[in-house]
Amino acid sequence: MAELINGTRLLTADAVSPAAEAIAVAAAILRQGGLVAFPTETVYGLGADALNPVAVEGIFRAKGRPADNPLIVHIADLSELSAVAASVPPLAPAVMARFWPGPLTLVLPKTPAVPAIVTAGLATVAVRMPDHPVALALIRAAGTPLAAPSANLSGRPSPTNARHVLDDLAGRIEAVVDSGETGIGLESTVLDLTGEVPLILRPGGLTREDLLTVLPEVHLDPGLSHASVAARSPGVKYKHYAPQAEVVVVEGSVQAIPACVLRLAAEAEQQGRRVGIIATRETSEHYPGKLVMVSGSREAPGTISHNLFTLLRRMDAAGVDLILAEGIADTGLGLAIMNRLRKAAGYRIIEAL
Ligand code: TXA
Ligand code: MG
């Protein structure tokens, strides 16, 4: 018997070779229109049968997600694509062949089989093939594509382990499949291939530099550079990834950042606020006596992406009022990391001089 937490079943499955039983239980719930959170290589997703509008409605209810923010449809095999995508733009096959399964979501024209609630009424559907044995096994066992947003309450940091999922959604969903920590730690890159030039609507686990090895040109949605309501990916306009604490990002050179962080920390502490610092390995020793959490190394941004959302949640658990987060270079995976940090900060950014 699986453990029950506030009515939500906690199933465990090995991340490399999941036992058939846990997958079968989870798949049966999905086939009956229930909600199951499951691991992917990016973050945990909250899955429902993508072709069942009543099941998908449950996702929006459980998360408190605005109805105009469309979902990603997850498939396990290329043969499932034609059920959800009406056509495949000329550049798509090479991209799929190179990067699927993987942290890349493609926006494609939708088929009538995809319910309007999945795409928030758009003519396009976002599709991805996740690179995680549990996710792939679950989609296959369910026998249907799975609509799955990140398995957090709307506006909260995305979950990178089953504990995060339960903290937000216990009692609101039928089950969660626990396979430990996710690898990348932030969401997939959303790429729109329906226009003339491929457009990144949301930077994520697959870098723009990687995409440029297959595509001649890749543009960034101009709306990404600031808090724009004109951003084309509907979800991009909402408050996101936010812990309870206020977040301020301190950007600039690695030499200038520590002094600026220390000054802001001192100012806040004078006002009686409890301050936490998210620092990199290279700079963390500049803050003796402070509450410091090390995200990872600037030399290996994958270590930072892996830890970022967990640290935002841990700062809340530590009762911090203000999180001062060090910025990093926004190249490679740094682009997605800085996108999430700036959004978590509500674009409160201070340039260290
Ligand atoms: O890594 C991920 O992508 C995770 C895992 C679970 O796969 N999922 C995820 O889903 O991050 P979610 O719902 O949190 O983010 C989906 C993003 C939103 O920004 C949404 O607006 C965008 O994809 N999106 C979905 N359908 C779209 C469409 N048809 N056109 C443009 N953007 C779309
Ligand atoms: Mg999300």
pLDDT, tens digit (0-9, with 9 covering 90-100), for 35-79: 999 999 999 999 999 999 999 999 999 999 999 999 999 999 999
Extract the runs of DSSP E, i.e. beta strands, from the chain.
3-5, 8-12, 36-38, 45-49, 72-74, 104-109, 124-128, 146-147, 175-178, 189-192, 199-202, 219-220, 246-251, 275-280, 291-296, 322-326, 349-351
Question: What pLDDT is stored for residue 304 in this prediction?
Answer: 98
Measured from the CA of 103, which atom of ligand 1 is nearest?
A: 1
Q: How far is CA 306 from CA 99, 208, 336, 342, in A?
A: 20, 18, 12, 17
Q: Which of 72, 51, 73, 75 is nearest to 138 (CA)?
A: 75
Question: What pLDDT is stored for residue 224 in this prediction?
Answer: 85
Beta-bridged to residue 188, according to DSSP, are none
Under the banding of pLDDT at 50, 70 and 90, the label for residue 228 is: very low
Residues 6+ apart with CB under 8 A from 248: 264, 322, 323, 324, 325, 345, 348, 349, 350
Q: Which letter, b or e, does each residue of 140-161 get, where b requires 16 or more Cβ atoms within 10 Å of its Cβ?
A: ebbebbbbbbbbbbbebbbbbb
Give the number of other CB atoms < 10 A from CB of residue 353: 8
Question: What pLDDT is stored for residue 229 in this prediction?
Answer: 42
Residues 6+ apart with CB under 8 A from 319: 274
Q: How far is CA 66 from CA 72, 154, 166, 248, in A?
A: 15, 8, 21, 26
Nearest-angstrom CA–CA distance, 134 and 136:
5
From the CA of 41, how far away is ligand 2's center (Å)?
14
Mean pLDDT over 304-320 rounds to 97
Question: What pLDDT is stored for residue 18 in this prediction?
Answer: 94
Q: Look at residue 238 and tell me whether its pLDDT is greater than 80.
A: no
Place of tokens 């809340």: 316
On average, the pLDDT of the chain sits at 95
Measured from the CA of 125, which atom of ligand 1 is nearest?
A: 29
Mean pLDDT over 2-20 rounds to 94
Pairing mode, if any, of strands 45-49 and 146-147?
antiparallel
Angle at 288 between CA 244 and CA 329, to 5 degrees: 65
Question: What pLDDT is stored for residue 241 in this prediction?
Answer: 81
Place of tokens 């724009």: 228
Q: Look at residue 232 and tell me whether its pLDDT is greater than 80.
A: no
Site to substitute for ligand 1 among 158, 176, 177, 190, most atoms within 8 A of C-beta: 190
Question: What pLDDT is stored for residue 337 in this prediction?
Answer: 98
pTM for the structure as a whole: 0.96
Question: What pLDDT is stored for residue 140 in this prediction?
Answer: 98
User: What strands lie across the sheet with 246-251, from one edge to the other?
Assistant: 291-296, 275-280, 322-326, 246-251, 349-351
Nearest-angstrom CA–CA distance, 164 and 158:
8
Site to substitute for ligand 1 among 68, 122, 127, 187, most atoms within 8 A of C-beta: 187
Nearest-angstrom CA–CA distance, 257 and 219:
29
Measured from the CA of 205, which atom of ligand 1 is nearest?
A: 1
Residues with Cβ–ion distance below 5 A, ligand 2: 150
From the CA of 264, how far away is ligand 1's center (Å)?
35
Question: What pLDDT is stored for residue 2 in this prediction?
Answer: 73
From the CA of 123, how far away is ligand 2's center (Å)?
21
**Residue nearest atom 31 of ligand 1, based on CA coordinates:** 233
The torsion angles phi and psi of 98, rounded to 5 degrees, stand at -85, -40
Nearest-angstrom CA–CA distance, 265 and 257:
12
Structure tokens at 66: 């605005």
Three-class DSSP category at 269: helix
Question: pLDDT tens across 168-178, in order?
Answer: 999 999 999 99
Beta-bridged to residue 219, according to DSSP, are 199
Under the banding of pLDDT at 50, 70 and 90, the label for residue 226 is: low
Nearest-angstrom CA–CA distance, 44 and 164:
9
What percentage of the chain exceeds 70 in pLDDT? 96
Q: Is 236 in the pocket of ligand 1 (CB under 6 A)?
A: yes
Beta-bridged to residue 237, according to DSSP, are none
The torsion angles phi and psi of 197, rounded to 5 degrees, stand at -115, 135
Question: What pLDDT is stored for residue 239 in this prediction?
Answer: 63
